[in-house]
Amino acid sequence: MKGIKLNFINHSNDINNSSIVIFSKNSATDFDELPIAWKVIENCGIGEHHPLTYDLNVYVSAGDSYGNYTTELLAQYGQQFEMIKNTSGDVLQLSGQPAMSSTEIEIANNLPTGSISGNVYRSGSLYASTHNIAPSQKAVFSFKPTIWIGVVSQITEGEVINSAIMSQINTEISLLGISSADIVMTGGGPGPSSTSFTFNLQNVQMA
């Protein structure tokens, strides 16, 4: 499955060399699980652009309590993966059971002891993560075809976005049915005439 071609363009008046963070929210969790900074765009000056791809496929892996991580496995909605112990050690595999919902991906901890983390990757970068999954427990992931985008000062790709930063980001962009688009940032600027940053899709090509 091919990906959606996106092109971030800085048409803002930002003079602070702000970073741009793009992330998703796991819609399968009831509680406010903090999202992962999927992509961070840095040093993209006024007039510059930054291409990126939103792959339609996602991959899953798991980490065990010994600091080991499994290889990434292609995941489809409706599948359940399980972490088990075999003669080689801890491994992640399809469980043979479907997920509870056809719109969700599950990672179950079927180890006798030790908690695990469940991780989802998109376009080669960490997209979502759940930690401290105890034996006989599972992580559940589901994603709408949307991304969240905002301006931040200090953030690292692949790390959790704290709630203070989250509260400042309110732009959600739907990618449903799109094959390519520009994400154009405007606003910002020095002094009292400064306006808030806005993000709009332009040059949208539908799939």
- What residue spans define the domains of the chain? 4-55+153-206, 58-141
Amino acid at position 107, single letter? I
CA–CA dist 89, 158 (Å, integer): 26
pLDDT for 142 equals 97
Amino acid code (one letter) for 97: Q
Q: Which residue pairs, CB below 8 angstroms and at least 24 apart, start in 86-95? A: 90/62, 90/64, 90/66, 90/116, 92/60, 92/61, 92/62
**What is the C-alpha to C-alpha distance for residues 75 and 95, in angstroms, rounded to an integer?**
12
Q: Give exposure, 178-203, as e/b (b: 16+ Cβ within 10 Å).
A: bebbbbbbbebeeeeeeeebebeeee
pLDDT in the model for residue 1: 55
- Answer yes or no: are the C-beta atoms of 106 and 140 closer than 8 Å: yes
- Give pLDDT, residue 32: 67
Q: Which of 24, 18, 10 is nearest to 146 (CA)?
A: 24
pLDDT of residue 46: 96
Predicted local confidence at residue 99, as pLDDT: 97
| Ordered per-residue pLDDT tens for the chain, 207 residues | 589 999 999 999 998 899 999 999 999 986 667 899 999 999 999 999 999 999 999 999 999 999 999 999 999 999 999 999 999 999 999 999 999 999 999 999 999 999 999 999 999 999 999 999 999 999 999 999 999 999 998 899 999 999 999 999 999 999 999 999 999 999 998 888 889 999 999 999 999
